[in-house]
Amino acid sequence: MKNSLILKIGISFFLIAFFLVAGWFLYKGNQAGSTDSSGNGDLTGPSKEEQRAVVNVSVLPLVRESIEETFVLPGTLEAWENLTLSLEQSGPIVWVGPDEGDRVKAGQPILMIDKSLLETQHARNQMEFEMARKQLERVEKLYEKQLVSQREMDVAQNAFDKASADLQQSSIAIEKSTLASPINGILEKTMVERGEYGNVGVPAAIVVQVDRLKVVVDVPEKDVSFVRVGQAAEVLTADLEVGAENPRKGKVFHVTYLADPSTRTYQAKIEIGNPEGLLRPGMIVRVRFSRRSLADTLVIPLYAVLDRGGEKEGFVEAGGQAFAREIVTGPVIGDRVVVLDGLEEGARLIVQGQHLVADGDPVAVVDDPQSAR
């Protein structure tokens, strides 16, 4: 039993000695590591710059250019002329010519009323006119010979003048018995039928001119100063066949001075051509106006600009490194923004990967697009 106790004491001393020696070696190893990391030892580890990962980026070489700032407003197409034609003579309608939707020319008859009574009256007026003319000729000859008085001469002259006026009136009445189109256009609607009795002033037909149209646009107060009479505008119409917009050139010909009291907008009217007749009154279009033109300007993609606590920042690449630049921006034009300060022409702006780098980080240019528009 005494031998067993001695054995246990010996094992205990051995373990204590083992742990003391192991602890001493561990302590010395830590001292050596500290010396190496401080640069006083013989071994050196990788630097902070060497530990940074290289980020793949795309860059955009910056060049100055001229750019136009525009704004787009919705508009409605209207016929250039929309005429409601009324009857100018009363009577039964005996003829209706073109059908609704047909093209008509200026002066082309649309409908006629019965003019038999008008023609009878015109024939009677023609006879009375001839009689008055002959009577005036006889009295004039007698008056030259001083065989009739001035009063008889005046009576003959007045009778001739009245007969002439009655003849002219009946001729106009016959002409007005035919309702004709005053313009080149399309017969949009006929509102009477053959056999009906038409009265003077009753609407009978609607004719519209659509070879050119006007676009009516409500312009907000903030934009009305940029819309002027004579200014060019671009009218954008949807092309359903190709699924794209079809631009047409237009010209502003009227801008109201008074605002609409309910919408507080100003109405502008733009003339556009429609020779092929594809556009119709009532269609909704968009109109692009020019706000201003900027020459010799640096413009960059909006997505290349980073917001750092309210400050605008971008990154440029030079010599395989990314460098932060504080940017002062101007107006936004579409998906691009004007740069007023902070970047110069020729700089290689990082447009992809800019969110992954910091100032001074190493980068690798994997794509060098000439334009990011």
- pLDDT confidence of residue 34: 46
- pLDDT confidence of residue 372: 38
- pLDDT confidence of residue 371: 40
Structure confidence by residue, pLDDT tens digits, 296-328: 889 999 999 998 888 899 999 999 999 999 999
Each domain of the chain, given as residue ranges in start order, spans 1-29, 55-67+295-367, 71-78+209-293, 81-204
- pLDDT confidence of residue 45: 46
Single out the residue of 249, 364, 250, 369 nearest to residue 300, CA to CA: 369
- pLDDT confidence of residue 185: 94
**Residues 173, 169: Cα–Cα separation, whole Å:** 6
* CA angle 103–101–98, rounded 5-degree value: 65
* pTM summary value: 0.66
| Intra-chain end-to-end CA distance of the chain, in Å | 95
The answer regarding whether domain 55-67+295-367 maps to CATH 2.40.420.20 reads: yes
- pLDDT confidence of residue 332: 86
Share of the chain above pLDDT 90, in %: 71
Single out the residue of 154, 153, 198 nearest to residue 176, CA to CA: 198
- pLDDT confidence of residue 370: 47
CA 360 centroid distance within chain: 45
Q: Which residue has the higher pLDDT, 331 or 124?
A: 124
Mean pLDDT score, 186-209: 94
| pLDDT, the chain, mean | 86
**Residues 285, 125: Cα–Cα separation, whole Å:** 57
> Residue 356 pLDDT > 70, yes or no?
yes
Structure confidence by residue, pLDDT tens digits, 218-228: 999 999 999 99
Structure confidence by residue, pLDDT tens digits, 121-155: 999 999 999 999 999 999 999 989 888 899 999 99
> Residue 37 pLDDT > 50, yes or no?
no
Q: So what's the architecture of 71-78+209-293 in CATH?
A: Beta Barrel (2.40)
**Residues 191, 62: Cα–Cα separation, whole Å:** 65
Q: Domain 81-204 is in which class?
A: mainly beta
Lowest mean pLDDT among 21-35, 48-62, 253-267: 21-35
- pLDDT confidence of residue 362: 94
Structure confidence by residue, pLDDT tens digits, 2-19: 455 555 565 665 666 665
Q: Which residue has the higher pLDDT, 373 or 353?
A: 353
> Residue 29 pLDDT > 70, yes or no?
no
> Residue 27 pLDDT > 80, yes or no?
no
- pLDDT confidence of residue 5: 55
